[in-house]
Amino acid sequence: MHKDELLELHAQMVTIMQYFADLEEVDETLFDPYGELDVTPDDVHKSKSEHKHAVFVLGNALATAMSEDEFSDAGRVGKRMKELAEDAEKKL
């Protein structure tokens, strides 16, 4: 995936995050790990690896927000996103 495509994906995921953040039933601290990264789709000067890591961290949070438990489809996706985020962080 090219960096511009990754930035577009990142931006779309942030839009989805904002939707879930506005829902009352979603834990307000769920997206804190993503916010702590300080990497947004507007940060075009950040490396592709940093954006990739941010997408995986955000993907994990989004899947968690959508899952009923860790064994649901979204729960399994969340677990895999967490693994990918950890792997991407090692490569930073």
Quick check: helix, strand or coil at residue 9? helix
Q: Is 80 exceeded by the pLDDT of residue 74?
A: no
Q: Is the pTM value of this prediction over 0.85?
A: no
- What is the CATH number for 44? 1.20.1270.110
Write out the DSSP string of 52-86: HHHHHHHHHHHHHHH-SSTTSHHHHHHHHHHHHHH
**pLDDT (tens digit, 9 = 90+) per residue, 7-52?**
999 999 999 999 999 988 888 899 999 999 999 999 999 999 999 9
The token duo for 63 is: 């899947």
Task: For residue 78, name the pLDDT band (cuts at 50, 70, 90).
Answer: confident
Range(s) of the domain holding residue 69: 3-90
Q: State the total domains in the chain.
A: 1
Gap between the terminal Cα atoms of the chain: 17
